[in-house]
């Protein structure tokens, strides 16, 4: 959802929240799309490791294609090689020139009614980094050569969805594949940024000021939506700000062209076929015009980065004009984003979580999404708020998140944090949304310091760390340099075996210990 923060796009990152195998180039997705967060912060609890994550691209894909403003900027800063901030937002422009190949790259096709952009950076002509057989250069070229037949072959499915033949022909006429998306889909940057850098980029004074302006300008709409749904206005405003920097960075790729490309070429064809057909349904119904449906490379569009399938599921006509316009109509946008959160389980009157101080000697094996328990029980284990304030509802269940390990702050996460993760299944994203919302509400920055002296491991070092864990019998997966829940568990078990806090944080010190130094 974040335009530039989305290295993996919602489609590549999350569980399928809004009709996508989850937000891919989505909201912060963009930023997240090209930004590879600290081990375990990017849907670590959803996928054992990278391959499973890629298989479940649904989550971020729901907003898939999100490389919005906030995310976009973050992506650019978080990833030196952030090829395209949230593909769905303008961030993509910040990441041009990342890929190059020895093979001559085909020129981009001319734009058609779907709004395909011109002058886009060409495909590198190289095999995808994922190693998937459908991502080899030869497979991509073969599929591209059959693109027109592939699109035409989807007419029977479109007809079953009520799309008229006239509209199908009109909306698909002139569509050509955007092969640059193949590079963006399989990007594996060598260097990454930390969660504290990510938060610094997303939660800043300028965005806060703009957010407060938006809250004041659309107060009536926020009032009505909050009364109708119970969803916190500050969370909605936070998503809007982080996904697209308040509609200033929503991405400029044609949603039709992007989803058609991904439906016919590459490793996620079945998933994106649904997105493409859903995009056609939106146009056929008249909710939006083709020129409005521009976004990330994964197909996420609008200020809060809806994937087409998510739009179908959650978009509402907030002002009764007969259209669900989540792009240019603030009333529909606010109401639809709230409806999304409500249907995902938002608890009215509840916050998302609390910053907590974790005591020395704490057993970090308990820091697990699956180990939720009443806050009162966490208090008995020594956890407390850094300000000394009491927890308002000790009976509420929460789980402990320690994104920077024992050296950084801890967080007790409630049900609404899980709901935010359905919107975009990345822990760092959900933490940024919750914190930004609190700041918009007038809250203070986090109290405890982050371990800023720590550096992020490079992809080469992450691969080595997994290989060393495997050699010692802790890691059972296939080393790929991408960290997920399986890597985190292996790290914890190794740390426990050498008598250090088993927090699962992949530091340079842990790597040195694995090396035997």
- Contact at 8 Å (CB) between 52 and 18? no
| Cα 115 from Cα 259, distance rounded (Å) | 12
Per-residue confidence (pLDDT) for residue 189, from 0 to 100: 76
Report the relative pairing of strands 397-401 and 410-413 from DSSP bridges.
antiparallel
| Cα 38 from Cα 44, distance rounded (Å) | 10
| Cα 248 from Cα 250, distance rounded (Å) | 6
DSSP E strands in 99-175: the ranges are none
Residue 253 pairs in a beta bridge with 295
How far is the CA of 138 from the CAs of 52, 142, 247, 266, in angstroms?
24, 6, 38, 11
H or E, element range at 335: helix 330-343
| Cα 341 from Cα 228, distance rounded (Å) | 13
Alpha helices by DSSP H, 146-245: 147-152, 155-160, 165-172, 180-185, 195-202, 205-217, 219-229, 233-244
H or E, element range at 423: helix 415-423
If one counts every other C-beta atom within 10 angstroms of the C-beta of residue 373, the result is 15
Phi, psi for residue 87 in degrees, rounded to 5? -50, -30
- Contact at 8 Å (CB) between 210 and 317? no
The answer for residues whose C-beta is within 8 angstroms of residue 371's C-beta and 6 or more apart is 399, 400
Per-residue confidence (pLDDT) for residue 187, from 0 to 100: 85
Residue 301 pairs in a beta bridge with 295, 306
- Contact at 8 Å (CB) between 39 and 488? yes
- Contact at 8 Å (CB) between 190 and 161? no
**Structural tokens at position 173:** 């006429």
The answer for residues whose C-beta is within 8 angstroms of residue 26's C-beta and 6 or more apart is 1, 6, 9, 10, 11, 13, 14, 20, 60, 61, 62, 63, 64, 65, 66, 86, 88, 243, 296, 298, 300, 305, 307, 424
**Structural tokens at position 37:** 């967060």
| Cα 474 from Cα 131, distance rounded (Å) | 25
Q: For the packed helices 233-244 and 415-423, what is the interaxial angle rounded to 10 degrees?
A: 30
CA 9 to chain CA centroid, nearest Å: 5
HSE (side-chain half, CA atoms, 13 Å) at 44: 29
Q: For the packed helices 459-471 and 485-497, what is the interaxial angle rounded to 10 degrees?
A: 60
The answer for residues whose C-beta is within 8 angstroms of residue 509's C-beta and 6 or more apart is none
Beginning with the edge strand found earlier in the chain, give each strand of the sheet holding 410-413 in spatial order: 353-356, 410-413, 397-401, 373-374
H or E, element range at 514: helix 508-514
- Contact at 8 Å (CB) between 83 and 5? no
**Structural tokens at position 82:** 């952030």
**Structural tokens at position 347:** 């608890």
Residue with tokens 């700041």: 439
Phi, psi for residue 198 in degrees, rounded to 5? -60, -45
Tens digits of pLDDT across the chain (517 residues): 433 333 333 433 333 333 333 343 333 333 333 333 333 343 333 333 333 333 334 344 444 444 344 444 344 333 333 333 333 333 322 222 222 222 333 333 333 444 444 446 899 999 998 899 999 999 999 999 999 999 999 999 999 999 999 999 999 999 999 999 999 999 877 777 899 999 999 999 999 999 999 999 999 999 999 999 999 999 999 999 999 999 999 999 999 999 999 999 999 999 999 999 999 999 999 999 999 999 999 999 999 999 999 999 999 999 999 999 999 999 999 999 999 999 999 999 999 999 999 999 999 999 999 999 999 999 999 999 999 999 999 999 999 999 999 999 999 999 999 999 999 998 999 999 999 999 999 999 999 999 999 998 999 999 999 999 999 999 999 998 888 889 999 999 999 999 999 999 999 999 999 999 6
- Contact at 8 Å (CB) between 405 and 504? yes
Per-residue confidence (pLDDT) for residue 120, from 0 to 100: 63
Phi-psi region of 337 (alpha: psi -120 to 50; beta: other; left: phi over 0): alpha
Phi, psi for residue 355 in degrees, rounded to 5? -70, 135
3-state per-residue secondary structure call for 253-296: EEHHHHHHHHHHCCCCHHHHHHHHHHHHHHHHHCCCCHHHCEEC
């Amino acid at each position: 959802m974040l335009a530039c923060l989305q290295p993996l796009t919602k489609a590549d990152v999350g569980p399928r929240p809004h009709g996508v195998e989850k937000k891919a180039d989505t909201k912060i997705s963009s930023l997240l799309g090209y930004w590879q967060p600290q081990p375990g912060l990017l849907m670590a609890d959803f996928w054992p490791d990278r391959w499973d994550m890629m298989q479940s691209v649904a989550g971020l894909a729901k907003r898939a294609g999100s490389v919005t403003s906030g995310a976009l900027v973050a992506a650019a800063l978080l990833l030196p090689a952030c090829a395209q901030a949230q593909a769905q937002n303008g961030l993509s422009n910040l990441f041009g020139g990342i890929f190059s190949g020895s093979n001559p790259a085909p020129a981009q096709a001319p734009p058609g009614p779907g709004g395909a952009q011109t002058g886009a950076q060409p495909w590198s002509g190289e095999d995808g980094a994922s190693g998937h057989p459908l991502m080899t250069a030869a497979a991509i070229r073969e599929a591209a050569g059959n693109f027109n037949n592939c699109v035409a072959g989807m007419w029977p499915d479109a007809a079953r969805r009520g799309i008229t033949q006239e509209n199908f022909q009109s909306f698909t006429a002139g569509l050509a594949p955007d092969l640059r998306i193949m590079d963006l889909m399989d990007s594996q940057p060598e260097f990454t940024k930390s969660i504290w850098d990510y938060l610094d980029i997303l939660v800043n004074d300028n965005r806060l000021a703009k957010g407060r302006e938006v809250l004041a300008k659309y107060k009536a709409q926020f009032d009505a939506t909050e009364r109708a749904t119970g969803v916190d206005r500050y969370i909605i405003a936070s998503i809007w700000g982080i996904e697209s920097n308040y509609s200033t960075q929503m991405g400029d790729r044609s949603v039709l062209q992007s989803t058609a490309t991904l439906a016919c070429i590459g490793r996620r064809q079945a998933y994106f076929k649904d997105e493409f057909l859903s995009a056609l349904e939106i146009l056929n119904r008249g909710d939006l015009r083709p020129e409005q449906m521009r976004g990330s490379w994964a197909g996420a569009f609008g200020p809060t980065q809806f994937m087409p399938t998510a739009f179908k599921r959650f978009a509402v006509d907030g002002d009764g004009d007969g259209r669900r316009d989540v792009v240019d109509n603030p009333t529909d946008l606010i109401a639809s984003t709230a409806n999304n959160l409500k249907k995902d389980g938002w608890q009215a009157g509840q916050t998302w979580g609390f910053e907590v101080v974790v005591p020395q000697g704490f057993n970090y094996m308990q820091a697990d999404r699956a180990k939720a328990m009443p806050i009162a029980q966490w208090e008995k284990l020594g956890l407390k708020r850094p300000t000394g304030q009491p927890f308002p509802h000790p009976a509420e269940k929460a789980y402990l998140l320690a994104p920077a390990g024992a050296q950084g702050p801890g967080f007790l996460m409630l049900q609404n944090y899980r709901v935010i993760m359905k919107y975009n299944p990345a822990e760092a994203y959900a933490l940024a949304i919750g914190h930004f919302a609190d700041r918009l509400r007038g809250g203070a920055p986090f109290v405890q310091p982050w371990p800023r002296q720590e550096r992020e491991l490079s992809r080469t070092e992450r691969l080595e760390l997994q290989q060393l864990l495997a050699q010692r019998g802790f890691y059972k997966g296939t080393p790929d340099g991408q960290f997920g829940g399986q890597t985190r568990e292996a790290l914890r078990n190794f740390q426990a075996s050498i008598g250090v806090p088993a927090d699962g944080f992949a530091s340079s010190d842990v790597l040195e210990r694995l090396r035997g130094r």
